[in-house]
A and B are shown apart, each in its own frame.
Chain A
Amino acid sequence: MIKQPNVILGNDELLVTMGRKGDILGFFYPRRDHAQHVEESVACIHTGEKLLWTNDNDWHCIQNYIEDTNIVSTKLYHDSGIRISILDLVHPDVPVLIRRFKIQSQKKISGKFFYYSNFNVGETTKKNSGFCDTDTHLLVQYWQNYHIGIYSLPEFTEWQIGKAMDTIWWTNSKFDMEDGKLQGNKEDIGNINNAAGWDLELEADGANEFVIFIGAASSRRLLYKRIQELSKLPLEYIFEKTREHWVMLLSRKQVLKMPGLEGYDNLRQELFSAYNRALLMLYLLNDRKYGSFVAAPEFDSNFEKCGGYGFCWNRDAAEIVLALKHSGYPEYCDTFFKWCIQTQLSDGSWFQRYWLNGDIAPSWGNFDYSTQIDETGSTLYAMDVYYRVLEGLKKAEFLEEVWVSILRAAEYLMKRTKSGLHERCMDLWETFYGIFTYTNASIYAGLMGASHLAEENGEAGMAKRWKKRAEFVKQATIDRFWLQEGYFAKGVINEKLDKTVDASILGAYVPFGMLSPKDPLEKDMIQFMIGNIQKKLSVPFNLNYGIRRYENDSYINGNPWVVTTLWLSEAMFTLSLELSSEKSTSVVTSGSVVTNGASSGNGEISDDTVKKLTLEGVKCLKWALAGATSTGLLPEQVEQSTGKPAWAIPLGWSGSLMLDNILLLDKICRRRAGNQEES
């Protein structure tokens, strides 16, 4: 069953995903990709007459993060006058989710508060074992070395461990709650579920509070210890410590100023918030031990409607670590590139996707024709970008560390591009087999990066050879794929040139820099490409427009993607900056500036062009912000019929592009403010 989250929280060992009403959808421990221990975990109230499940449609909800933290507030309102306020946080140091439920009612209630869970510990319904320790008031379910436990304050007074899906249905904890009392079975095995219960005696307008600890550990002893120690601490203290942890994380970020945006409604504040949220979200997708990232928390583990997202793709992760580096967090690059060295295949390439520990993941790209060569290109490119920003001894150490990996990867790219264009493989959308503009651009960037690193390493011969091939790839791509309509073809599919407009051709400019606006002809190509993507792939809604991946895209309703929309705005902002830099240079060198209209193709620069690019980029940014969840998480897509976030939530790649965009816009604003001050 596919259930998409509205919010995520966690720490280094625990990742929790939740629905809009505070129902737990995923509980990943000890890695972000494995194991997911929860099928269902949700509170309910027995009013004395019937059960009210808090994730039912009868409840209205408001959910948001406590500002600048990964602490979640969920407020639920029932038509009967019951109000529940849930505060969820994960302790920064131990894998324990703490859930505070505050229940209020306009009318008197004499009933029960229940907390129901269907754990699949170890990500399996088989061979689980559960018990209720009535001495310590701990409900525990375990499988091999995974132990999940529930403790509460006040301690629960009723409990049930039952069969979740069995002919002896009356032991099922879910059914057991129906009559408002639990049977108190203490242990069982197999596919089991559990419930804890408390008396709920509420006077009209009165309130009750229950704090539930859901912890994870590798042994029973450790689980007991963790929960016992944590439950001794005042909740206020844990809250403050958790809040401080996240605030401290954000204190290291590259500071934004965005001068000049004050007048644009609330945009400046929205961008500040989106920047912080992206940083906090990416922390939760990152495996601190291995350095890898899940593309998104897994929500389709049975691969019912897609291939799943709870794995690490080099393409996504390479973009993410660079964005985080630019945002002030270089440590992600350090660990990710170490992971890359470990995960590189014997032929020098990288696999389609990996488990976070580096094992190869389930894949439909196991052969030369089905692999994705762009992942190798992207990784090499990212290594070079990182190297360029390093300084001093760190620079030399990094090169030493990655050199063999660079050499192997570059030679792999050489082997697959003998005729200029790459050999047949799968595209970045993992849908088509053929030869692609995007993939060729990534190879160009990878080989250029490798060439630079070879030069730095004193390998002039290799540097020359790789650079020559990169230029050959570039020329072949332009010769074969550039269309007179003013954009690159998607590629060659089934031996035929596919002229579908595909947003990924932007890769030829951003991030791979195969085209440069410094060259007048290429500058025009970039502008034409941007214009055609806008024209052919825009889908207007949510006051602005989003960008589809390509014409006639049918994946999940063919919705526009946050990735492609922010990719376009990144190209616009980058071009805007590069054109205005060029303009500044021309001011210095010639003492005059061309201001009459758009670029003519002869290197002329127009103020209008620069301004228009920025304004259009801002429209895309606003569209992406409008498609976020109520908690500010960026999805992969936005549903075109409703304007709401769709499919993978949150998507790391969307987050990294948001960081890139905001940093670029900040630069544009600062430059403009500087110019104004100067004038």
Chain B
Amino acid sequence: MVRDLFMFAGFNESSQIVWFKIIYSKEPGSLSSIIDFLEKENAFVMFGHLDNITQNATGEYSVFTELDKDVNPEIFAQKIKELEVVSEVEYGISKYGMVYSMDFPINVIGVRGVAARALTIVDIIKTFNQNAPHAEGLLTISGLKGGIHAAKYFKSILNLNDSNFADVLAELYRGVGWGILEIECDPKTYEGKIIVKDSFIADTYGGSDQPVCAFMSGYFAGYLTEYFGKNISVREVSCKATGKEVCEHIISPAPSGGTGLEHQLRGEIR
């Protein structure tokens, strides 16, 4: 998902951050020979990961290294490629040492993803809230689409069922840094609640009189609607931005055949 994302806290002017994506044959000891080589050449390994699943005969070793400034990365990559076990090498330089991704573009649940500061997204949400009519509805509908996509994707790659649909959603949220979820949802009554700890929206938004996580409510609604095959309403009843400990979203089946029930739920008088 975000496996190839590496963030550097600082930047050392006497060195350079260089990443290598090394394709190697999956034979015993082959990975060791690569690591030995890097160590011998004084390439300080800062971060790396292995992928021995995606391809049958070969493995992929993605590694971020700190090299002396005078080392020519191209020649260094060529040297790695000359190792007997290595078939392909790609490399890149993180010029400013801030954020670099080996895989471009980043892939998030089957489609292109991007990394952004929470504040960047929250600024967009704030701008909507401050300027657009029906901002809450607009954000709900925007989130809804994302949630529908997520459920569709998970249905296509795994057996999404009543025992795991909540865990999968929680794992996704944690993986992309949106928040920590505690989900209680009865698949028979379609009722329940979602507690969001450390919601990136509420945490970053600052104080507010009103709940601010409509985008997440919409996302949950889209996910559950697509999974259950039935319209699900999710409303945020408590939000960290309003001073509460955590955010709480209530799950219920959407009223059918009109809007009357929902208007009552929202406390509106007609």
Contacts and interface: CB of A to CB of B under 8 A. Distances in A.
Contact of B233 (A125, A162, A165, A168): A168
A169 interface: yes
B221 A169 contact: yes
Contact of A183 (B140, B144, B214, B257): B257
Interface stretch (A20-28, A184-192, A197-205): A184-192
A167 B258 contact: no
B45 interface: no
Interface in B216-270: 217-218, 221, 225, 231, 233, 235, 254, 256-259, 262, 266
Given A125-B133, A125-B134, A172-B141, A167 B217 contact: yes
Interface in A530-555: none
Given A165-B141, A185-B257, A188-B259, A170 B233 contact: yes
**Residue with the highest number of chain B CB atoms closer than 10 Å, among A170, A184, A186, A191:** A170
A171 interface: yes
A121 to B, nearest CB: 15
B259 A168 contact: yes
Contacts of A171: 258-259, 262
Interface of A (DSSP majority class): loop
A166 interface: yes
Contacts of B137: 163, 165-167, 169, 191
Given A163-B259, A185-B259, A188-B259, A170 B254 contact: yes
Interface residues on B, range: 20 to 34
Interface string B33-69: 0000000000000000000000000000000000000
Contacts of B254: 168, 170
B254 to A, nearest CB: 4
Contact of A169 (B141, B257, B266): B141
B134 A166 contact: yes
Interface residues of A, number: 20
Nearest to B136: A167
B229 to A, nearest CB: 9
Nearest to A172: B141
Contact of A167 (B225, B231, B235, B257): B235
A67 to B, nearest CB: 43
B138 interface: yes
A167 B257 CA distance: 16
Contact of B218 (A162, A164, A169, A188): A169
A167 B214 contact: yes
Contacts of A191: 133-134, 137
Nearest to A184: B257
Interface in B103-138: 133-134, 136-138
Contacts of B214: 167
A164 B134 CA distance: 9
Contacts of A175: 141, 144
B262 A168 contact: yes
A134 to B, nearest CB: 14
Nearest to A124: B133
B257 A165 contact: no
A183 B231 CA distance: 12
B258 A185 contact: yes
A169 B255 CA distance: 11
**Residue with the highest number of chain B CB atoms closer than 10 Å, among A162, A169, A172, A183:** A169
Interface of A: 125-126, 162-172, 175, 183-186, 188, 191
16 contacts: A125-B134, A165-B133, A165-B134, A165-B137, A165-B138, A166-B137, A167-B136, A167-B137, A167-B140, A167-B266, A168-B254, A168-B259, A169-B137, A170-B231, A185-B259, A191-B137
**Top 6 A-B residue pairs of the complex, sorted by shortest distance between their CB atoms:** A165-B134, A166-B137, A170-B231, A165-B137, A170-B254, A167-B140
